[in-house]
């Protein structure tokens, strides 16, 4: 009786080895679309066309035989016949991903250099074709010196041909070896030489490639580059924040002038009294002060929507994955965190796609640190008031730079918090990244317009509902009880009493009374911080018998720079939104984690606002 025939599947991670193994042997090995799924050898039985059985071994994916990880070590040992209780496999089945041929051909050459009976399964040709790439198996076979069989493991395409090729390679057997000349040529090659050869072979194996595929592959080379990718992403975000200030200003000025004109008309047309004050101080000064930030919101979302629609956002997630892995999160958390730039509520809901409970909890707890669009009016107001509108380089405005820094501070805060949480209350290992890159696309103008309209509408609806109600409530608290003649209305009011209480807590971190008062209604929605400042100053200026100034000018005149910076630092961290807390409660099924979240975020806000204030004071700002 002849001895048991054996073959082993080798190749890069995620080439489809286990998928082929399952298709060839009827086994049910776990397959998934990310590298490192198989971590042990696994044997199954493949029946050749002749009816003869072959023991087929599925191996962990590998980038090189020199590699150090324990799963790759298994592959190296089995392939070299050093694995305990395992004979040297007769035939090596080298699995390559046709859509990533150049990458996969690097390790492939190491396998070919062994000069053993080898068959190449050129897998995933369906994906290559979908991208507009047709390969020439004959050319590749010629270059590698071994048979090349195109396959689609998941559709069982090319399996019979592959089995037949395995049989032929086994029959020729050890006496003829593998690739011969082609193998010997590769034995002394260095890694850079292999990379270069891989590029040449991959190019030579292309039968046809659409212009679009070439363009997209070129774009990916740059945008997903291990070193270039991150600076490009940050440069894009940088431009976005510059634009938020540079482009919005004329529109915002126009809106502001409009609100002022309406206010003047109301003052002229109606007799003075309770109702007129409500309209001018509460509605127009308060709510109007928020509405003027509509252009900024629209520009911010225009950038985000274009990045999403073009296919870049998924690439950003891919780039960020490695960074996120360092803090114990995966690229899976990127999408929820990204949505949190709009608002933490959909962001927290999007964590439902994260399978690992600790991973998910961490993402929920740090989501409020991503800068939601409700902070934009607060940031934009304070920056416009206290940061000079100068440039610090060609085309680089200081105001945009500060805004960018605030967003980055939020991101770093979230990453640092995730790192700590993963080490303490939400321990666990980071899981792998699962995401298919969507195709690049020209964003469609119509979709863009609809998306922007929806965002603008959400913002205006907030202004008309929650912000309106909170501001009116504050105005009422500021207006009653009425002050005696000569006494300050703000001081005498209910709101003044509240302000005194809150101010005692936040005075050490440099906040003034109006800021302290603004923090309370801002729990309803962060933008209310802006409207309540506007309303407070409107009421105050009335009893100081001044003409009301624009809010920005009031802030510029009344706040010191350290105070203003401390307020910005506070808003980077503070959990200033009740709806977010409510959603966190729902998604974690209890009060424990939302309370923890509120606690640590307030603590962070207090510490960082205080540090900012005292450092700024010490620096003489």
- 236 is a contact residue toward ligand GTP (CB under 6 A): no
- Applying CB under 5 A, which part among 17-25, 107-115, 394-402, 410-418 lies near Mg ion? 17-25
Residue 154: which of ligand GTP, Mg ion, none does it interact with, CB under 5 to 8 A by kind?
Answer: ligand GTP
Specify the DSSP element, H or E, that contains 6.
strand 5-11
Write down the least CB distance from residue 30 to Mg ion, Å: 7
Residue 155 or 172 having the CB closest to ligand GTP: 155
CA dist., res. 535 & res. 19, Å (int): 65
For 123, the 3-state DSSP assignment is strand
Q: Is 286 left (phi over 0), alpha (psi -120 to 50) or beta?
A: alpha
**Which positions from 35 to 54 touch Mg ion by CB under 5 A, shown as an x/- string?**
--xx----------------
- 152 is a contact residue toward ligand GTP (CB under 6 A): yes
Cα torsion angle, 51, 55, 59, 63, sign: negative
- Applying CB under 6 A, which part among 7-15, 285-293, 369-377, 528-536 lies near ligand GTP? 7-15
Residue 152 or 406 having the CB closest to ligand GTP: 152
- Residue 17's closest CA among 81, 79, 88? 79
- Applying CB under 6 A, which part among 36-44, 218-226, 247-255, 277-285 lies near ligand GTP? 36-44
- 60 is a contact residue toward ligand GTP (CB under 6 A): yes
Binder to ligand GTP among 7, 8, 10, 31 (CB under 6 A)?
Answer: 31
Q: How far is CA 493 from CA 474, 476, 497, in A?
A: 10, 9, 7
- 18 is a contact residue toward Mg ion (CB under 5 A): yes
Residue 304: which of ligand GTP, Mg ion, none does it interact with, CB under 5 to 8 A by kind?
Answer: none
CA dist., res. 417 & res. 363, Å (int): 10
Measured torsion, CA atoms of residues 183, 184, 190, 196, in degrees rounded to the nearest 10? -50
Binder to ligand GTP among 6, 14, 373, 431 (CB under 6 A)?
Answer: 14
Non-local CB neighbours of 243 within 8 Å, separated by 6+ positions: 299, 303, 400
Residue 27 or 233 having the CB closest to Mg ion: 27
- 25 is a contact residue toward ligand GTP (CB under 6 A): no
Per the structure block, which two tokens stand in for 359?
A: 């991973």
- Applying CB under 6 A, which part among 150-158, 329-337, 491-499, 554-562 lies near ligand GTP? 150-158
- 9 is a contact residue toward Mg ion (CB under 5 A): no
Exposed/middle/buried for residue 492 (C-beta within 10 Å: 0-12, 13-18, 19+): middle
For residue 53, the Cα-to-chain-centroid distance in whole angstroms is 49
CA dist., res. 109 & res. 192, Å (int): 12
Residue 14: which of ligand GTP, Mg ion, none does it interact with, CB under 5 to 8 A by kind?
Answer: ligand GTP
- 37 is a contact residue toward ligand GTP (CB under 6 A): yes
Binder to ligand GTP among 7, 8, 16, 451 (CB under 6 A)?
Answer: 16
Q: What is the secondary structure of 575-588 as a DSSP string? A: ---HHHHHHHHHHH
Cα torsion angle, 193, 65, 430, 14, sign: positive
Write down the least CB distance from residue 137 to ligand GTP, Å: 14
Write down the least CB distance from residue 42 to ligand GTP, Å: 10
Cβ atoms < 10 Å from Cβ of 581: 18
Non-local CB neighbours of 71 within 8 Å, separated by 6+ positions: 36, 38, 39, 40, 60, 61
- 431 is a contact residue toward ligand GTP (CB under 6 A): no
- Applying CB under 6 A, which part among 15-23, 78-86, 161-169, 592-600 lies near ligand GTP? 15-23
Residue 21 or 511 having the CB closest to ligand GTP: 21
**Which positions from 115 to 144 touch ligand GTP by CB under 6 A, shown as an x/- string?**
--------xx-xx-----------------
Q: Where are the beta strands (DSSP E) in 12-124?
A: 42-47, 53-58, 91-97, 118-123
Residue 13: which of Mg ion, ligand GTP, none does it interact with, CB under 5 to 8 A by kind?
Answer: ligand GTP
For residue 421, the Cα-to-chain-centroid distance in whole angstroms is 19
- 204 is a contact residue toward ligand GTP (CB under 6 A): no
CA dist., res. 140 & res. 146, Å (int): 9
CA dist., res. 439 & res. 310, Å (int): 8
Write down the least CB distance from residue 154 to ligand GTP, Å: 4
Cα torsion angle, 580, 582, 585, 590, sign: positive
Binder to ligand GTP among 36, 44, 177, 443 (CB under 6 A)?
Answer: 36
CA dist., res. 576 & res. 371, Å (int): 12
Non-local CB neighbours of 103 within 8 Å, separated by 6+ positions: 12, 97, 198
- 421 is a contact residue toward Mg ion (CB under 5 A): no
For residue 439, the Cα-to-chain-centroid distance in whole angstroms is 18
- Applying CB under 5 A, which part among 30-38, 67-75, 108-116, 131-139 lies near Mg ion? 30-38
Residue 41 or 216 having the CB closest to Mg ion: 41
Binder to ligand GTP among 119, 122, 133, 153 (CB under 6 A)?
Answer: 153
- Applying CB under 6 A, which part among 26-34, 159-167, 299-307, 541-549 lies near ligand GTP? 26-34
- 32 is a contact residue toward ligand GTP (CB under 6 A): yes
CA dist., res. 20 & res. 153, Å (int): 5
- Applying CB under 6 A, which part among 40-48, 147-155, 196-204, 478-486 lies near ligand GTP? 147-155
- Residue 518's closest CA among 545, 482, 555? 555
For 241, the 3-state DSSP assignment is helix
Binder to ligand GTP among 33, 69, 208, 488 (CB under 6 A)?
Answer: 33
Residue 13 or 521 having the CB closest to ligand GTP: 13
Binder to ligand GTP among 7, 10, 18, 104 (CB under 6 A)?
Answer: 18
Q: Where are the beta strands (DSSP E) in 196-254?
A: 206-209
Site of interaction with Mg ion (CB under 5 A): 17-18, 37-38
Site of interaction with ligand GTP (CB under 6 A): 13-19, 31-33, 35-38, 60-61, 123-124, 126-127, 152-154
């Amino acid at each position: 009786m002849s001895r048991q025939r054996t073959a082993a599947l080798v190749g890069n991670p995620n080439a489809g080895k286990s998928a082929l193994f399952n298709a060839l042997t009827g086994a049910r090995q776990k397959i998934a679309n990310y590298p490192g799924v198989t971590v042990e050898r696994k044997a199954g039985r493949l029946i050749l066309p002749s009816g003869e059985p072959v023991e087929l071994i599925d191996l962990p994916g590998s980038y090189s035989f020199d590699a150090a990880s324990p799963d790759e070590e298994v592959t190296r040992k089995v392939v070299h016949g050093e694995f305990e209780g395992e004979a040297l496999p007769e035939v090596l089945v080298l699995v390559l991903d046709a859509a990533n041929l150049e990458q996969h051909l690097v390790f492939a050459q190491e396998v070919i250099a062994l000069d053993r009976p080898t068959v190449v399964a050129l897998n995933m040709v369906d994906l290559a074709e979908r991208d507009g790439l047709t390969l020439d198996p004959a050319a590749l076979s010629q270059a590698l010196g071994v048979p090349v069989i195109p396959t689609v493991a998941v559709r069982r395409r090319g399996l019979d041909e592959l089995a037949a090729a395995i049989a032929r390679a086994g029959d020729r057997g050890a006496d003829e070896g593998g690739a011969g000349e082609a193998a010997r040529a590769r034995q002394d090659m260095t890694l850079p030489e292999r990379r270069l050869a891989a590029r040449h072979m991959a190019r030579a194996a292309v039968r046809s490639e659409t212009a679009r595929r070439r363009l997209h592959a070129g774009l990916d080379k740059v945008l997903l580059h291990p070193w270039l990718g991150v600076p490009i992403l940050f440069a894009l975000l940088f431009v976005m924040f510059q634009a938020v200030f540079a482009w919005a200003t004329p529109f915002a000025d126009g809106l502001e002038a409009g609100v002022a004109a309406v206010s003047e008309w109301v003052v002229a047309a109606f007799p003075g009294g309770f109702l007129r004050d409500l309209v001018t101080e509460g509605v127009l000064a308060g709510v109007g002060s928020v509405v003027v930030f509509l252009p900024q919101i629209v520009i911010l979302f225009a950038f985000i929507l274009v990045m999403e629609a073009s296919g870049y956002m998924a690439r950003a997630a891919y780039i960020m994955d490695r960074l996120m892995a360092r803090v114990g999160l995966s690229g899976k958390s990127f999408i929820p965190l990204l949505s949190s730039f709009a608002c933490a509520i959909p962001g927290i809901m999007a964590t439902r796609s994260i399978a690992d409970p600790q991973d998910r909890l961490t993402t929920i707890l740090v989501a409020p640190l991503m800068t939601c669009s409700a902070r934009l009016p607060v940031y934009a107001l304070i920056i416009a008031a206290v940061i000079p509108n100068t440039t610090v380089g060609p085309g680089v405005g200081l105001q945009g730079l500060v805004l960018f820094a605030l967003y980055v501070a939020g991101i770093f805060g979230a990453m640092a918090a995730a790192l700590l949480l993963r080490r303490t209350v939400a321990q666990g290992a980071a899981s792998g990244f699962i995401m298919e890159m969507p195709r690049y696309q020209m964003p469609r103008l119509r979709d863009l317009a609809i998306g922007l309209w929806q965002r603008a509408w959400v913002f205006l609806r907030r202004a008309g509902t929650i912000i309106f109600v909170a501001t009116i409530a504050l105005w009422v608290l500021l207006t009653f009880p009425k002050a005696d003649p000569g006494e300050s209305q703000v001081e005498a009011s209910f709101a003044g009493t509240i302000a005194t209480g809150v101010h005692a807590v936040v005075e050490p971190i440099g906040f003034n009374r109006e800021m302290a008062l603004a923090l309370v209604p801002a729990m309803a929605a962060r933008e209310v911080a802006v409207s309540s400042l506007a309303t407070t100053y409107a009421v105050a200026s009335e009893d100081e018998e001044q003409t009301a100034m624009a809010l920005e000018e009031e802030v510029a005149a009344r706040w010191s720079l350290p105070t203003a910076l401390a307020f910005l630092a506070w808003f980077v961290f503070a959990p200033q939104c009740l709806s977010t807390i409510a959603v966190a409660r729902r998604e974690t099924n209890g009060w424990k984690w939302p309370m923890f979240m509120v606690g640590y975020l307030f603590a962070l806000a207090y510490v960082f606002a205080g540090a900012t204030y005292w450092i700024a004071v010490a620096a003489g700002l």
